[in-house]
């Protein structure tokens, strides 16, 4: 198996290092935090026969360089590249091309979950409950919105509550227009206008592939700071740790009637599978007054900070942070062992799949040389 080369296992932890790239980055705090996660992971994985390197990356070239020394397994913590959230799916795409063993979901699953409208299309087509929504690309198109108020307006392809504030929840056309303009202007991307679901906010952390299971569910406890405000986990509530919203929205283990808990888990598993997520992740739900869970967000690359909800749920299930880190690596190795490139290795293997990996990233010089040869006859 990929991890048994030599005596030790060589683990590379990749994380984005792009929080200081933009002067005015609306997601700066969220992007900065991943550095702490990488350090905690490195701490948890160091020891035994593992050699662990932490590699910050901020563009495609730095990812290629970071992979040059062929790690046995990559812990992929990248949530963006170059301060652009779309870069999140480019990193696993490069890992896939290089044939490397890595933790977490594929580039396809990460791209689909990031593009909330695409994720919702797939969920709806499979009958997984998700609130009705529309995508608005220009303010002129606001007249086409035919959803009933209240609505919530969010950037179509961001994460970590970027762009979410109290004024994202709108109850009339004038505030809808303002919220949509704000998203278009700040994030330079379409706005998702979605039916706002009043009700409890429940998170379902999922772990594993064959035999996937839910870890203990958590719930956001909206306190006094939300008394006459919409109960949303805004960017401030998530990242400004001294704000009343943050102090008043702790996440706790959810105490749910058994039937509701089972419904939440079933919906979350369906959503996770619909997007082909794998290894670990979290599905966020709002539960309406009738007890129906609605999927509002799928996080295949959820926050793995030791103090974040996912790790605390793992702990409640008896997995220490170190157990969790080691288990994520095991899951990646199990998947990779069955990877097509490995299965095809042998006398009749296709040439493309025979090598341990195709080293596409390491042979940029070679690719250029071939391109030069092709051009020569025309010279």
Instruction: Give me the 97-136 binding string for ligand ADP, x by CB under 6 A, dash otherwise.
Output: ----------------------------------x-----
Q: Which does 79 bind (CB under 5 to 8 A by kind): Mg ion, ligand ADP, none?
A: none
Please state, in angstroms and rounded to a whole number, the distance separating the CA atoms of residues 220 and 230: 13
Report the residue number, 100 or 202, with the smaller CB distance to Mg ion: 202
* Count of residues that interact with ligand ADP, criterion CB under 6 A: 20
Strand order in the sheet with 9-16: 50-57, 9-16, 73-76
Task: For residue 158, state whether it binds ligand ADP (rule: CB under 6 A).
Answer: yes
Binder to ligand ADP among 286, 305, 312, 336 (CB under 6 A)?
Answer: 286
Report the residue number, 87 or 155, with the smaller CB distance to Mg ion: 155
Task: For residue 159, state whether it binds ligand ADP (rule: CB under 6 A).
Answer: yes
Site for Mg ion in 260-289 (CB under 5 A): 284
User: Exposure string (b/e) for 129-154, b if CB count within 10 Å is 16 or more?
Assistant: bbbebbbbeeeeebeeeeeeebbbbb
Site for ligand ADP in 129-148 (CB under 6 A): 131
Inter-helix orientation angle 107-114/116-125, to 10°: 100
User: Exposure string (b/e) for 317-335, b if CB count within 10 Å is 16 or more?
Assistant: eebebbebbbbbbebbbeb
In this structure, the number of other CB atoms found within 10 A of the CB of residue 114 comes to 24
Total residue length of the chain:
379
To the nearest whole angstrom, how small is the minimum distance from the Cβ of residue 296 to Mg ion? 7
Binder to ligand ADP among 18, 33, 58, 194 (CB under 6 A)?
Answer: 194
Report which DSSP code applies to 250.
Answer: -
- φ, ψ of residue 287 to 5 degrees: the values are -110, 120
Task: For residue 279, state whether it binds ligand ADP (rule: CB under 6 A).
Answer: no
Closest residue to Mg ion, based on beta-carbon distance: 297
Instruction: Give me the 295-334 binding string for Mg ion, x by CB under 5 A, dash otherwise.
Output: --x-------------------------------------
Report the residue number, 103 or 195, with the smaller CB distance to ligand ADP: 195
Site for ligand ADP in 293-352 (CB under 6 A): 296-297
How crowded is the C-beta side of 294, counted as CA atoms within 13 Å? Answer: 18
To the nearest whole angstrom, how small is the minimum distance from the Cβ of residue 100 to ligand ADP? 27
Sign (positive/negative) of CA torsion 85, 90, 93, 95? negative
| Window contacting ligand ADP (CB under 6 A); options: 40-48, 177-185, 196-204, 340-348 | 196-204
Task: Report the SS3 class of residue 253.
Answer: strand
Binder to ligand ADP among 119, 233, 277, 331 (CB under 6 A)?
Answer: 233
In this structure, the number of other CB atoms found within 10 A of the CB of residue 292 comes to 15
Report the residue number, 73 or 296, with the smaller CB distance to ligand ADP: 296
Closest residue to ligand ADP, based on beta-carbon distance: 297
| Residue 64: C-alpha distances to residues 235, 287, 320 (Å) | 32, 43, 32
Please state, in angstroms and rounded to a whole number, the distance separating the CA atoms of residues 113 and 276: 10
Sign (positive/negative) of CA torsion 233, 236, 242, 245? negative
The residues that touch Mg ion, with contacts defined as CB under 5 A, are 284, 297
The residues that touch ligand ADP, with contacts defined as CB under 6 A, are 131, 152, 154, 158-162, 164, 194-197, 201, 232-233, 284, 286, 296-297
């Amino acid at each position: 198996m990929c991890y048994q080369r030599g005596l030790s296992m060589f683990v590379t932890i990749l994380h984005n290092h792009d929080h200081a790239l933009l002067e005015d980055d609306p997601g700066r705090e969220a992007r900065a935090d991943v550095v702490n996660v990488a350090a905690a992971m490195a701490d948890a994985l160091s020891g035994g026969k593992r050699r662990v390197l932490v590699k910050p990356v901020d563009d495609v070239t730095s990812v290629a360089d970071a992979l040059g020394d062929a790690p046995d397994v990559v812990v992929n913590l990248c949530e963006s590249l170059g301060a652009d959230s779309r870069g999140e799916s480019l990193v696993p795409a490069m890992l896939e091309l290089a044939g490397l063993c890595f933790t977490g979901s594929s580039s396809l699953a990460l791209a689909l979950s990031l593009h909330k409208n695409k994720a919702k299309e797939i969920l709806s087509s499979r009958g997984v409950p998700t609130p009705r929504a529309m995508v608005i690309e220009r303010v002129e198109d606001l007249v086409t919105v035919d959803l009933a108020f209240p609505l919530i307006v969010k950037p179509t392809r961001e994460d970590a509550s970027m762009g979410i504030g109290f004024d994202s929840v709108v109850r009339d056309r004038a505030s809808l227009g303002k919220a949509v303009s704000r998203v278009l202007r700040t994030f330079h991307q379409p706005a998702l206008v979605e039916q706002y679901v009043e009700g409890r906010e429940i998170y379902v952390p999922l772990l594993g592939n064959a035999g996937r299971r839910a870890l203990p569910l958590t719930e956001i406890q909206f306190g006094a700071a939300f008394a006459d405000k919409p109960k949303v986990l805004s960017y401030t509530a998530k990242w400004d740790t001294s704000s009343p919203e943050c102090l008043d929205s702790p996440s706790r283990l959810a105490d749910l009637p058994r039937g509701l808990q089972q419904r939440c888990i079933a919906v979350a598993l369906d959503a996770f599978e619909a997007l082909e997520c794998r290894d670990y992740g979290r599905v966020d739900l709002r539960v309406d007054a009738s007890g129906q869970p609605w999927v509002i967000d799928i996080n295949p690359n959820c926050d793995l900070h030791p103090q974040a909800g996912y790790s605390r749920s793992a702990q409640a299930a008896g997995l220490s942070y170190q157990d969790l880190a080691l288990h994520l690596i095991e899951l990646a190795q199990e998947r990779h062992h069955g990877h097509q490139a490995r299965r095809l290795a042998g006398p009749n293997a296709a040439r493309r799949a025979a090598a341990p990996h195709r080293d596409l990233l390491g042979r940029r010089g070679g690719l250029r040389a071939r391109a030069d040869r092709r051009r020569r006859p025309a010279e």
